[in-house]
Chain A
Amino acid sequence: MRRTMLFLPGNNPNMVMNGGVLGADSIIFDLEDAVAPDQKDAARELVRCALEMLDFGGCEIIVRINALDTPYWKEDLEAMIPLKPDVIMPTKVSGAAYIHELEAKMAEEEEKNGIEIGRTRIIPLLETTLGIENAFEIARSTKRMAALYLGAEDLTADLRCRRTKEGNEIAYARGRLVCAARAAGIDAYDTPFTDVEDLAGLKKDAELARGLGYTGKAVISPRHVDIVNAVFSPSKEDVAYARDVFAAMEEAKEQGKGAVSLRGKMIDAPIVERARQVLEAAAQIGGMLDE
């Protein structure tokens, strides 16, 4: 499931060791912005030892590495790839060329460590105007691509405007990113809500993203996890409807009918697919498929 991805500062032992119990579907060990330049080595080592020695209880493991224009990214990959994180998250990704360069180094490290080439996936952080424009090209630049992730804080700097809670200034970027991701057949993550205390504002922002078709949302505080999970989980009504869809399909099949309709509406392939995804997600959440 991809409802939430939670940032954990890579040099913070408390956050790192508790990452697995905070309820997020994916956890991001951050070697980049959350770590001061003089502690990059310490963070890398801590995350390495943690991935080696701790159990993160089924969370998807993502490592956010430093950007390709820094001296750190290669060492980041050399240290991390052998530990088989699920996803590498590069930042300031502006075009396919960036991904190709990153991929090449990832493949090199996978081979060196006897890991299946292509096993480690990528979720790039798109936070530049060029990255947003090139979103589709980036999305289909490699089979490793799992999702696109929108970073609005740096993007608004690039756009030369102020970042607001309402988010009008990133409306285009939000739409473009989710559209590009879906066109390439991958998932989309919305930008995190940065006011840790404003939980009502968080809920509104998450609902907006869900309304646009986002798969999930990044979060910067453990206190945001449950609210965002709830917003991106199928509701009881969604589950009931999905079940009705399959029931209608079964009935139509039994009766030898070609076209299936439910409550006066035609059930076509996209509706069935959405229903299937809802039931799959509900099964994973637990408790939603009873009664």
Chain B
Amino acid sequence: MKIVKPAAAGTLESSDILITLKPGDGTLDIQLTSSVDVYYHDTIMQVLKDALEEMEVTSAQVQAVDRGALDCTVRARMITAIKRGSEVES
């Protein structure tokens, strides 16, 4: 999928993750801050990358602010943001 416009999904509530997505410059750039950085930074990054790969997104700017979201929430929010960011206005 191609990210054609900025999109966001999720919130800053506890156990959620706020993901903002913008069209990229040909690469994947992921910025992640997390309340559980110390334990789960790598895990969360992997979940984000996996979702991007599965949806065939190769170019995007991703900013993620995590408040202790579980993997399923991280994945859900990333997928929602991708779908929103690749919607073509009809």
Contacts and interface: CB of A to CB of B under 8 A. Distances in A.
Contacts of B77: 42, 45-46
Interface string A46-60: 101110111000000
B73 interface: yes
Chain A interface size, as a band, is 10 to 19
Contacts of B16: 13-14
Tell me whether chain B's interface is mostly helix, strand or loop, or mixed.
helix
Q: Which residue, A14, A49, A54, has most C-beta atoms of chain B within 10 A?
A: A49
Nearest to A51: B72
A46 B76 contact: yes
A24 to B, nearest CB: 19
B10 A53 contact: no
Contacts of B84: 41
B79 A13 contact: no
B9 interface: yes
Contacts of B71: 53
Contacts of A14: 13-16
B73 A17 contact: yes
B49 interface: no
Interface in B51-73: 69-73
Contact of A50 (B10, B13, B76, B79): B76
B68 to A, nearest CB: 9
A42 B76 contact: yes
Interface string A35-77: 0000001100110111011100000000000000000000000
A13 B13 contact: yes
Contacts of A12: 13
A48 B14 CA distance: 20
Interface in B16-33: 16
B80 interface: yes
Contacts of B79: 45, 49
A14 B83 CA distance: 23
A41 B80 contact: yes
A8 to B, nearest CB: 13
A42 B84 CA distance: 10
Given A14-B14, A41-B84, A49 B73 contact: yes
Nearest to A14: B15
27 contacts: A12-B13, A13-B13, A13-B16, A14-B14, A14-B16, A17-B70, A17-B73, A41-B80, A41-B83, A42-B9, A42-B80, A45-B77, A45-B79, A45-B80, A45-B83, A46-B72, A46-B76, A46-B77, A46-B80, A48-B76, A49-B72, A49-B73, A49-B75, A49-B76, A49-B79, A50-B72, A53-B71
Interface of B: 9-10, 13-16, 69-73, 75-77, 79-80, 83-84
Cβ-closest 10 pairs across A and B:
A53-B72, A49-B76, A49-B72, A46-B76, A45-B76, A13-B73, A42-B80, A45-B80, A14-B15, A13-B15
